[in-house]
Chain A
């Protein structure tokens, strides 16, 4: 294989890394600076096609599409990071507790955990949104809670298998408290599987956030997100195609980047399956 002789990272890692790197840079810039104010209305430039002045055109209120996409990238990345963080922290606490306590505590917690996993796709998030209300914080809470069970399941599995190992028994014999043992010895061993899970979760969350915003249940307008820009483009898509093209392209390229990176990580962890899936 050429990658072995050249020591170049595989193609999927390169393309995926480049796509996600670009996203993070654009989101970083979009958080502090955009070419125009993404919220400023200008009826003079309503539905202007892409030009030198507005690279990606303007929308039905004359707002610059590029500026809105950049601001939207910042919002989406920020929401996704917070959501994943919430799910990881909550799921880790539940999983550690459940896996370490074992017995009935574990059985009851995991029965509920698995029942929540029985809700398909974003259904649980939709139900939670109905409870917490559809806005920026609602979406973080709903999606974060919806993805908590899958984190809890993985951490609990790791905790359960580690619990029987000698170094955990040694820590207990040395007189360390249960809490200290969990934090000092079990938690660090969960970090590798959690990192893999969090990366793929970032993709799911970004997609779910876009889908919910597209449905009108996410970040409310006028604040731009890729999802609500796509939703708003629907009535104008015949006369202003660019409104429907660019936000969708941004979402797709981000997901493509995450999928390619995910493939690259899996190939690295399991060389036997190189190029599979």
Chain B
């Protein structure tokens, strides 16, 4: 178990390193002097010279990367051009806004989709199964930004139950904060049900075909016991992996939902920075999201043996 965990953790390091190199190179692809890009319109000859020295621009590219990477390890992602704030605290505060939405939505979606997928596979080709798959495929096909608009139109404008736009931090006012989060969470929840249900059903079908399930049934176990003890535990693996991928993908793609509901999250920060050509923030957001993605998948992998001991044996 420990060996498995250590191997996985060590394996993530080169990935993180190359991700850092890619982000560093990406911004250097922009034609022009990196220092003047980083300072934007506020550049003065003195501040330019100062930043050039700090970034080591008179030295070779590997040295520049080493300086940048050293700062990165210290948590120094530089200063935002548009707000003149240090970037890391800015990103972290925005990250929590996005993370609460994504986490709650994916948790709720898993709680609904996994049992539903299990039942659909159990009752394969029944009306219930066909209905569930059709619904899942439909939900999967509706882009989140349109689903969000539809919810807004219906619950916000037509029924007037929920506020249309805005955001209140849940720490400032728990009740109002929650009210503003209902629709964004519902949007992602509905979409991810579609994704996860299909996966849970597919992997359960694979397992239900195997001989040991027939054996379990033949020895007279109740269907409940067969499904829960024998099918579910072995079928959950692929869905669990997908949950990790979904979490990361949502973090990368949440900008559209945050735009629909005007929520000041990480996705919106990235998009606004692209509009403002705030390159240090773009760089920081990309690094932060990609790192989080790799780490989430690492944690997912590390949890794998908890329900499937076969993994550590390999």
Residues of chain A having any CB pair with chain B under 8 Å: 111-112, 114-116, 118-123, 126-131, 134, 207, 210-211, 214-217, 230-231, 233-234, 237-238, 241, 244, 247-248, 251-253, 255-256, 259-260, 263, 272-273, 275-277
Contacts and interface: CB of A to CB of B under 8 A. Distances in A.
Interface stretch (B38-46, B68-76, B196-204, B224-232): B196-204
Contacts of A263: 137
Contacts of A244: 146, 149-150, 153
A238 B140 CA distance: 26
A256 B286 contact: no
A121 B256 contact: no
Contact of A277 (B15, B201, B252): B201
B255 interface: yes
Interface string B196-238: 0011011001100100000000000000000000000000000
B26 A276 contact: no
19 contacts: A114-B15, A115-B19, A115-B22, A118-B15, A118-B19, A119-B289, A123-B286, A123-B289, A207-B143, A210-B143, A215-B259, A217-B274, A234-B149, A238-B157, A244-B146, A244-B149, A251-B146, A255-B140, A277-B199
B23 A214 contact: no
Given A114-B15, A130-B274, A237 B141 contact: no
Chain A's interface: helix, strand, loop or mixed, by majority?
A: helix
Interface string B231-261: 0000000000000010011111101100110
Interface of B: 14-15, 18-19, 21-23, 26-27, 29-30, 121, 124-125, 129, 133, 137-138, 140-143, 145-146, 149-150, 152-153, 157, 198-199, 201-202, 205-206, 209, 245, 248-253, 255-256, 259-260, 270-271, 273-275, 277, 279, 282, 286, 289-290, 293-294
Given A126-B252, A216-B271, A248-B150, 13 more contacts: A114-B18, A118-B18, A119-B19, A119-B286, A119-B290, A120-B245, A120-B253, A123-B290, A126-B274, A130-B274, A217-B271, A238-B157, A276-B202
B252 A237 contact: no
Considering residues A115, A207, A211, A272, which has the most beta carbons from chain B within 10 angstroms of its beta carbon?
A115
Nearest to B144: A211
A112 B15 CA distance: 9
A112 B248 contact: no
Nearest to A19: B141
Nearest to A125: B252
Interface of B, helix, strand, loop or mixed by DSSP = helix
A215 B256 contact: yes
A256 B138 contact: yes
Contact of B256 (A119, A129, A211, A272): A211
B294 A126 contact: no
A131 B277 CA distance: 9
A215 to B, nearest CB: 5
A16 to B, nearest CB: 10
Given A118-B293, A119-B252, A277-B201, A214 B19 contact: no
A111 B22 CA distance: 11
Contacts of B271: 126, 215-217
B153 A241 contact: yes
Given A214-B256, A259-B140, A237 B153 contact: yes
A210 B253 CA distance: 12
A234 to B, nearest CB: 7
Contacts of A248: 142-143, 145-146, 149-150
A211 B258 CA distance: 12
Contacts of B124: 275
A211 to B, nearest CB: 5
A231 B19 CA distance: 32
Contact of B289 (A120, A230, A272): A120
Given A215-B256, A216-B275, A256-B137, A127 B23 contact: yes
A244 B156 CA distance: 14
Given A217-B271, A255-B141, A120 B290 contact: yes
A214 B290 contact: no
Nearest to B194: A259
A214 B121 CA distance: 37
Contact of A120 (B23, B138, B140, B251): B251
Contacts of B29: 131
B161 to A, nearest CB: 15
A23 to B, nearest CB: 13
A139 to B, nearest CB: 13
B205 to A, nearest CB: 5
A135 to B, nearest CB: 13
Contact of A130 (B143, B209, B282): B282
A102 B127 CA distance: 51
Contacts of A121: 248-250, 252-253
Contact of A276 (B22, B205, B250, B289): B205
A215 B254 CA distance: 11
